Structure 1
Amino acid sequence: MPLPANFDHLDADALRQLLLEQERELVWRQSKIERLTHELALYRRQRYGVRAERLSAEQARLFEETTDADLAAMSEALEQLQPDSKAQTAKGQARRKALPPELPRTEIRHEPESTTCACGCQMRRIGEDVAEKLDYTPGHFTVERHIRGKWACAQCQSLVQAPVAAHIIDKGIPTAGLLAQVMVAKYQDHLPLYRQEGIFGRAGLAIPQSTLAQWVGQCGVHLQPLVDALKAELLAHPVLHADETPVAMLEPGAGKTHRAYLWSYSVGAFDPLKAV
């Protein structure tokens, strides 16, 4: 929790209250980190350990993509709780393969609003940074080339460059459109990720199922505020409809199943809000 701007002018009671709030947030943050770390270790053991279950190829793919998505979601949540972790983990990341050169490219240029230095001199363009993002429209891929020019002032040695636009996945290659395509195909059209990999392959670039699962998990973390808002809106209604669906749930490592339930909640059919 950041300190307020008028921190120096707080009285003793307000200062104690602020310290208590910060201590509560630190305890909550640490407990959530410990819980996520524990769950992450369990999921990794479940994903990569030796399993006794004998699943069909289709069931195995669904199991793996779900576990990969959950692993990515927990890793993303941990990184958000530990802001410094991204800088630490970025050093050890492998270099990403370049996007295929045969894909059509669209250049999107980002330049500063003004190239006149604060000292009054006209700045000179000395180079540029290029970031490529993979986009998809049904049937074919395209590449967005985001070009950010570098402008320098020879007089005062200052450098100006347009800021990097915010992306759903930090330093990732997919555009918001490609991520939306993956999420809608998986959850609205019920297309498993291994089938989407084949569809993308026919379009010219077979994105591995494991990569798609990581994207799904990371998107899930960023969509959590929307889920929370939907839940709050649902619970504000005086009447809710509920339904249970029994399912056979596999116990990891045991090769057995036990009876579990999926519960769904919905507003009324004639309610102006359509929410489930």
Structure 2
Amino acid sequence: MTRRGLISDDSLMPDHPADTADKPEDVATLRAALLAAEARIAALEQMIHSLKRARFGQSAERIDAAQLALMLGQDPPPPPANDPAVASAPTAPAAQPRQRNRGALPAHLERVEHVLDLADKGCPCCRRQMHRIGEDRTERLDVVPAQLRVRVTIRPRYACRGCTDGVHQRRAPDHAIPGGLPTEALLAHVLMAKYGDGLPLYRQAAMLGRQGIVLDRSTLCDWVAKACWWLRPLHALVLAHVTRQGRVFADDTPLPTLERGRRRTRIGRLWAYAVDDRPWQGGTLPAVAYVYSSNRRAEHPGAHLAGFRGMLQVDGYGGFKALRRDRDDGAVVLAFCWAHLRRRFFDIHAATQSPIAAEALLRIAALYAIEAGIRG
């Protein structure tokens, strides 16, 4: 007799006849089932290893191409100049002089001079007047904290004492937020702090509160929304500039979104479309256009890139493949990312030391070396 909550001895026994009656007795069938089970176990173990490495391992995917070549019995390829393996290779430590900014602060910064002169310029020995023979200059980096100020717009009113023509006055200037408190400069400051420096609005509200300006976070949210409305034409111009180019990089990332009436966040997507020809000294102005969507459906990149014709460098997301499939005129050519492909082989090699994965990493390293030579 077993107690409740303990494992019964029957569970440790082999399968009952009723359970094994429907099992195949053919050896080939059993062998195929065993191989399929082993393949599934290997795939699950690889998945667990990848998740552990992503959660607890190093983010850098460093690999020694020379070691891979020795494993495969080949000559190592020339290392690319920008390969992290080159930087991580053990070398003799060399004494590096410590770099300092003293005396080399940027020339465009304003210099505020504070002269510490002698109050008495008479010689302490003979009391004759001393003359200046030089000076010592010491530069230190200073900061002026952001200062809030109130901009007052005064519009005088005029009227003629001898006429009844009414009151004359200059027209009030237009504001980004009619009747609102912030100037356009303050709106730009809030946007740059939030999106450029990653400073949340509640922290900005606390910083303003230390200077006696009490603003609710919802007020700052309204400012951001109204400012973004004014920036929509600029956003459209940036996206049009990017999609006019012949080579565009595209990617997306999850973006938690808090909506009105929902206590939990919704996972939206932020799509990035970029053009950057600077690595090969191209003349196109670099730009990135970001577009938000509430989900990751394939229809979104198709709508964003409706007029695009050229080469689109992407990862393996199926939505980009659907874009090429739907555009049967061949206007879109997909160029997949080597870094994403290399990561798959790196994970397999790190988990199993597979020679096939090592061969793939070695060939990719050779391609990276060619690209490094092209970039100089």
Shorter-normalised TM range: 0.3 to 0.5
In terms of fraction of residues, the more strand-rich structure is 1
Whichever of the two has the greater Rg, that structure is: 2
- TM-score, normalised relative to structure 1: 0.45
- TM-score, normalised relative to structure 2: 0.34
